[in-house]
A and B are shown apart, each in its own frame.
Chain A
Amino acid sequence: MILENAPALAIGIPLFAAFAVFFIGKIGKRAMKAWVVAGLLAAEIFVIWLTMDAVSGISHFYAVGARFPSIISPGGFPIRIVLAADAASTLVALVAMSACLLAALFSFSFLKEKNAGEKFYSLLLLLSAGLVGLSFTGDFFTMFVFLEVVSISSAGLIAFFREEESFEATFKYLVLSSIGALLLLFGVGMFYGKYGLLNIGAIAALVAVEASFIDFAAVALIASALLLKCGSFPVHMWKPDVYQKASGIVSAVLVASGLVGIYVLFRILFLMLANTPLSAMIGWVIAIFGTISIFIGVTMALKQNSLKRLVGYAAVAETGFVLLALGTGLAAITTRDIFSFKAVVGGMFQLVNDALNIGLLFLVIAAVAFVTKKKKVGEVNGLAHKSPVLAVLFLIGLLAISGMPPLNGFASKIIIYESVYMASPVFSIVGILGSIMLLAIFVKVFVAIFLGPPYKGKIEPLPKSMLLVMGIIAFFILFLGLFPKQAIEFVFLPAANALVNSQAYIGGIL
């Protein structure tokens, strides 16, 4: 019975935990921490269970509030709020949930001195519920609600520590994301006006029969809102600002939230456009956006002085890789070439790697700031003498992000280069050059912070919880890098299959 309700519980448990943190916080700090970890861990277990089921071919579709949770549609289409947990959505939910769980573990010793209590965890739990909801939802209006939940809670988290100028970044983020969400709602309204439906699968089934201008306009509005969420080229400006001003922990979670945005974007595009002539055009537009994101991210990262801003631009470039791969996959889907599917596999792989690599870099930066008590990490140098662990972790992160062989970034990027090269050599070459530039940039940063004469200032010992979290991420980076074939066969092939195969999704919901 409990497992039957797993898709709803994965959203409901963090939501309820967020509401109840206030009461548990009255008991004591220790109880509150235990409550937060328990809530996130329970949701994480449900998501892992769903992922295991989904990759072995059993997708779960769940109707909230129904007499029977499995889908029942008396009028030919489901009128309830539907949650869809197939291989692609569970993979993304797993990434988001793990990011929130690890960020919560990481923040325990970090927040001790900042004296920030239940409100931070309340927002974090709310964000995790919003992200899982966004990836599971099979209903357009719920998507809007979860998008706003994510926007509001992440805006609260960005401004939480009230470091100077973080308000400005938060304001920028909130303005852009609320405009995006309203555009999405406008597009959803168009779909509702035409079909009288809000269910994504049901609408996709109707669009596949007779697609008209209204549908494309609605898809364009929704796509622009989600591109804004993931911070790709035309609307990438908020990303470096926010990542620079927010705390490293929050940035690591925000990376995952951007990736959920990419997944939702492509879920909708694959569902709505797969059988129309527009798929090639939209696919190429997004691939071009991705390529320009790579170019802008790398070139702007070159001239940054602030380390967090630099990683923020690197995150824009990494987002570009995912968009390039998935966009190429969408563009070539009508020709049914093998490389289009391969590009989607590479995109899903890169999506996970993006969260791991950028997340690790942000967490290492937060840890460096924690042990040295410096506000500007750029002023630190020669830290490798005092804290070799951090140096090794940063090295792993930078090699992974720039796609060096034994690590996960190489495994995913080589697939992307190969498959994109078949469709368009230029984009592939821009990608390779961008990756090499990233290596140059990060080696420079590494030398500046960790090498050189030994660090003179006092450093605090690195707390065990931080080490554990970064160790887990580094382990997964190494694991995915050393056994990419097994990982692809086990997780990413089913995920790409679920994303591309729109009939399975529609059939599951109807």
Chain B
Amino acid sequence: MIDLIFLAVIALIVIGLYAVMFKRNLIKIVVGINIIGSAVNLFLVSLGYRSESIAPIFTGTESLNMALATPQALTLTSIVINLAVTALMLSLVIMIYRHYGSLDTLKRRLKE
């Protein structure tokens, strides 16, 4: 079960890197980085998993077999940071599009 998650993480990272390296559209590059970010978040969350555990909330709980809370806090922080980076990258893409009139990396070079 847990190994499958790790395989999925590796696959997602490879897909993301593929998108960043071989796609020419800037939006697709941003999407690729987001895929890598999701893969790493998935990895962190799955590290805190215990079998048959419940969410780590103390409010009115009966069982004390909880998933680890630290990786979840880390994931939340990493999601926030990814959001900030994505927002900044997308606004840069908007500015680049306004300046060059194209999102294609190769076409921008040709225009120079």
Contacts and interface: CB of A to CB of B under 8 A. Distances in A.
- Do A and B touch (CB < 8 Å)? yes
Interface of A: 141, 144-145, 148, 151-152, 155-156, 159, 162, 164-165, 167-168, 170-171, 174-175, 178-179, 181-182, 185-186, 189, 192-193, 198
Contacts of B89: 171, 174-175, 178
A184 to B, nearest CB: 9
B11 interface: no
Nearest to B89: A174
A175 B20 contact: yes
A179 B88 contact: no
Interface in B36-62: 36-37, 40, 43-44, 47
B67 interface: no
A155 B74 contact: no
Interface in B1-31: 13, 17, 20, 26, 29
Interface string B75-103: 00110011011001100110110010000
A189 B47 CA distance: 8
Given A185-B44, A185-B78, A189-B44, A155 B33 contact: no
A171 B96 contact: yes
Contacts of B13: 186
Given A170-B92, A185-B40, A152 B47 contact: no
Nearest to A178: B85
Secondary structure dominating the interface of A: helix
Given A145-B81, A164-B99, A174 B40 contact: no
A67 B26 CA distance: 48
A358 to B, nearest CB: 26
A500 to B, nearest CB: 31
B18 to A, nearest CB: 12
A156 B88 contact: yes
Contacts of A189: 40, 43-44, 47, 71
A141 B108 CA distance: 37
A399 B49 CA distance: 58
B37 A182 contact: yes
A161 B19 CA distance: 30
A152 B108 CA distance: 24
Q: 9 tightest A-B contacts by CB?
A: A193-B47, A167-B95, A148-B81, A171-B92, A178-B85, A167-B96, A182-B36, A189-B44, A189-B43
Given A144-B78, A181-B81, A186-B43, 18 more contacts: A145-B81, A152-B85, A156-B88, A159-B92, A167-B99, A168-B108, A170-B92, A171-B93, A174-B85, A175-B29, A175-B33, A175-B89, A178-B37, A179-B20, A182-B37, A186-B40, A189-B71, A192-B44
Contacts of A145: 77, 81
A417 B23 CA distance: 43
Nearest to A79: B70
Contacts of B47: 189, 192-193
A192 B73 CA distance: 13
7 contacts: A164-B99, A174-B88, A174-B92, A178-B33, A178-B82, A178-B85, A189-B44
A141 B77 contact: yes
Contacts of B70: 192, 198
A80 to B, nearest CB: 12
A119 to B, nearest CB: 13
Contacts of B93: 171
Contacts of B88: 152, 155-156, 174
B30 to A, nearest CB: 8
B43 A171 contact: no
